[in-house]
Amino acid sequence: MDVPEQHIDQPMRGNVSGLAGRVEDAVARVVKGQTDAVRLTVIAMLVQGHVLLEGNPGTAKTLLVRTLARLLDLEFRRIQFTPDLMPSDITGTSIFRPDRADFEFRKGPVFTQLLLADEINRAPARTQAALLQAMQERIVSADGSDFALSDMFTVIATQNPLESEGTYPLPEAELDRFLFKLVIDYPDEQAERDVFLQHGAPTTLASPEAMIQGALFNEADFRAAREFITTVVVEPSIADYTLALVRQTREHPFLLAGASTRAGVMLLRASRALAAISGRDFVIPDDVRELAKPALRHRMFRTAAAELEGLSTDKILDDILAKVPVPK
């Protein structure tokens, strides 16, 4: 679908800069204390990126995604990942049609605009891998044919911490498909009290759908915002700075493996979206620095020495960000 010309000719910078704020305010009516997660998820969706949400059960990860789908007026499907889930339960399966004496491909829940892969690390690697092609190419190959997914297709996956019982680590190739890994913590005391007052009392058990009056944007608005983001300028010095950060992750003594080239490209794309929602048509170093942790933390693998010393990937990234000179 082509972006209508009138959308691009409007003062899109202001429209895009207000988009994240309006979504944050609307989500805050339903999900308390997760403003940063909402903002970063919107950034990811604006650049066709996928998001991995990690947190303990009961931290509103699923509710957050359902709320976003309604606010952005996107077709929404949810898959509950379990140990017995099969790849065909995600992508679809072929069914024999006696009237045609032939097989017909029945599309699975992956054929949607916003897919919630709930508790993705409760399924084994074989099932998780069913999403690899869909996330990278937005295509599903089955029965010798390729079936295209919507260009709005976005995966938001939730996972429990790896220490939880009955979980499987995500393969490196799949982790690298996610633009961001966001760590969802419990809300602060005031936000948690608001949750109790809003959702815990018998008179306030409204569903998220009932608490949201309607969509804030339509598909054309979202496509126009995406189109504007492609015009945001990335100076060579910013690209060089991002490159230096990525290469440092491969050379750090406490890391077995660092970020990929794709990671750096995706970090730059996300930085353009952050610049746009901040009201700018150019990227600054602070955009890259702000997004470095969510964009890189899941692509770095620590040495045994780092684990023994209790160094998290976030702490290692702090060290890298402190050492790499910031362009002026």
Which tens digits make up the pLDDT trace of 17-31?
A: 777 778 888 888 888
C-alpha radius of gyration, the chain, whole number: 21
Which tens digits make up the pLDDT trace of 184-206?
A: 888 788 888 877 877 666 555 55
The CATH class for the domain spanning 5-204 reads: alpha beta
Which tens digits make up the pLDDT trace of 93-111?
A: 888 778 777 778 889 999 9
C-alpha span between 185 and 158 (Å, rounded): 13
pLDDT at 7 over 50: no
Looking at residue 287, its pLDDT comes to 97
Confidence category of residue 145, pLDDT binned at 50, 70, 90: confident
How many beta carbons lie within 10 A of that of residue 20, not counting itself?
23
Of 104, 95, 42, 90, which is closest to residue 69 (Cα–Cα)? 42
Please list the residues that pair with 50 across neighbouring strands: 178
Identical fold at 5-204 and 232-323?
Answer: no
- What pTM does this model have? 0.87
How many beta carbons lie within 10 A of that of residue 5, not counting itself?
9
The CATH class for the domain spanning 232-323 reads: mainly alpha
- Domain ranges for the chain, please list them: 5-204, 232-323
Of 161, 156, 163, which is closest to residue 180 (Cα–Cα)? 156
| Cα 282 from chain centre | 23
